[in-house]
Structure 1
Amino acid sequence: METLVSTEWLAGHLADPDLVIADASYHLTPRDAAAEFAAAHIPGAVFLNLKALADPDHPAPMMLPRPDAFAAAMGALGIGEGRRVVLYDDSDIRTAARAWWMLRTMGFADVAILDGGLAKWRAEARPTEAGDHRPCPATFTPRPAIDAVRDKAAMLANVTSGAEQVVDARGAPRFSGAEADPRPGVAAGHIPGALNLPYGRMFQADGTWKSPDAIRAEFDAAGIDLDRPIVASCGSGITASVLLFGLDRIGQGGALYDGSWSEWGIDPETPKEVTA
């Protein structure tokens, strides 16, 4: 299975017994992802609740949970040994990429994203169903890839060393500091030396992913050297995952600063750069 699958491909594989389809929608607006899933979702899909898949003991939002907690949640959804997973979302911030990154970081490789998500599925008048699907539980064995995640200490050291390029997926106004951060107490600006590549640049006008060549051109245009290590950052670790999926599409890798600006910007001791 490719890492990006079409609606046509998924429609032809809905009945595959080893395939788990998961709605990974999450919203920063008042939209209720769980209620929307219950009202209409791709047949047979389960709801992967990203809001609940976070470390409750960390002050920053959306931090990667402990491996055992993540494994329990995935197993209950039927995600585990001998299964393949296709993720989709109906979110403006493309949250299927976050779920993809989490699964890959926890050692689950056979996972793909549905190109165009639920919006494209519906636009093509493909079937949906309501209610809740009860999956057959699976055994998920976590194999965390520690080198896929950066913490604040590593990012502070990198400000001095410059060993890794920091690529910020937020929009240009928030990155530059021209626009205030929406979170109370979080400063404006970005990590010193970071480059800006808004996550929306990974997509075509119809919401599908750009071609690998076009993705590569976006990284080049942002001044990112694809021959050097990359760490992606954003507001809370969600849209940075979009850039990491984009890198994967062009055969490249990268790490994620999971705390991102919600952790960095609220700390009065971290250096900040404003270019507005």
Structure 2
Amino acid sequence: MPIVSRRRFVVGNAIVFLLTLVAVSAFAGQTPKARTSMLVTADWLSQHINDPSLIVLHVGDKAGFDEGHIPGAQYIQTSDLSTPKGEGLTLEMPPLDDLKATLERFGISDNSTIMVYFGKDWVSPTARVLLTLDYVGLGDRASMLDGGMPAWIAAGGTLSKDGRTPTPGSLHLHPNTDIVVKYDWVRSHLADERVAIVDSRTPEFYSGNKPGMMPRAGHIPGAISIPFNSLGDSLNRVSDAASLRKIFDDAGISSDKTVVTYCHIGQQASFGYFIAKYVGYDVRLYDGSFEEWSRNPELPVVNPSEQPTKE
């Protein structure tokens, strides 16, 4: 190859390399797009409440449901979608066949749209129901009512005391089971800089000042504290995506990381999961959470409350 042609070839390749590097860097620095369809407003619900494909699920205490609920809603508990407590951990995903049967009993079919809301302030149990829907592959067709039933009432929505017995649904699952991880996955990623482990419990449990009825107090090594109750306002409404993303940014969690949430038993972490997904992160949930982790003496725990204070 002539010298001039060789130089052009080298320069050309260098330019292509630099442009590729810039493109990759730009992509890595992009702000993830918020998944806004995960939240709906009372106004949206008022426009769609009579849609034949809409399934409305009420999460809260049964007495509150009986006193009044959004018209057409069905009462659901997290226990409907978890293994019995006698089988080990408090709140674990049951087999897919069991979930399928339960969801069909609520009238959920392949063409259903599901909207879940809390009666009072049961935000994390509501998020747990939504996590389960995501787990079985219905996440793209499920949403939370922002602000729950209080927001519906404030917008002028009426309540009903009527019960509803739905026609059983027909559902073909497309499981998304990778979103729930086990302790061995977490242990193998403790030193992985691409993974951010988020502790969704309130600070006194993260610090070890309160054990929370666990065998050991403290938190998983390297975990970052983002309490679940810091992700909504006093009316349990979700802030705009930019404000929520700033919470993660300020905690040092860049947009290219995989977020893994945990808490006591996997319920508060479900709201952390919901918000992390909402703002655009790739996210998982450690279902056994600290209940399982603290029981296993082979798994490390950091307890700041036991560390000597500096004088």
| TM-score where L is the length of structure 1 | 0.90
Per-residue displacement from partner, 1:224-252 (whole Å, max 9, x unpaired)? 22211211111111121212221222222
Of 73-82 and 223-232, deviating more is: 223-232
Q: Show structure 2 runs of 5+ residues with no match.
A: 1-35, 306-311
Aligned to 1:53: 81
Contact residue 232 and residue 241 of structure 1 kept, 8 A: yes
- Whether 1:233 and 2:262 are equivalent positions in the alignment is yes
Equivalenced residue count is 267
Larger Rg: 2
Asked if the contact 1:86/1:114 (under 8 Å) is kept, the reply is yes
**1:175-254 equivalent positions in 2, closer than 5 A:** 175-181=206-212, 183=213, 185-254=214-283
Output one character per residue of 1:142-190: Cα deviation in whole Å (capped at 9) or x when no partner: 2222321110111222235555221011011111101221x3x432111
Alignment of 1:1-276 (within 5 A): 2-25=37-60, 33-56=61-84, 58-89=87-118, 90-108=120-138, 109-161=140-192, 163-181=194-212, 183=213, 185-276=214-305
- The 3 A distance-change label for structure 1 pair 94 and 119 is farther
Name the stretch that deviates more: 14-23 or 240-249: 240-249
Residue 132 of structure 1: how far off its partner (Å): 2.2
Verify the 8 A CA contact 2:43 2:155 in the aligned structure 1: no
One-letter identity of the residue aligned with 2:137: G
Cα 1:122–1:186 shift into 2, 3 Å: farther
RMSD: 1.8
Identical-pair percentage = 28
List alignment gaps of at least 5 residues for structure 1.
Answer: 26-32
4+ residue stretches of structure 1 with deviation over 3 A? 160-163
Deviations 1:188-226, CA, capped at 9 Å, x for gaps: 111011111011121123321010000101111222222
SS at match of 1:88: strand
Note closer, same or farther for the CA distance 1:160–1:248 as it changes in structure 2 (3 Å cut). closer
CA distance in 1, matches of 2:180, 2:106: 24
Q: Which has the higher helix share?
A: 2
* TM-score (normalised: structure 2): 0.81
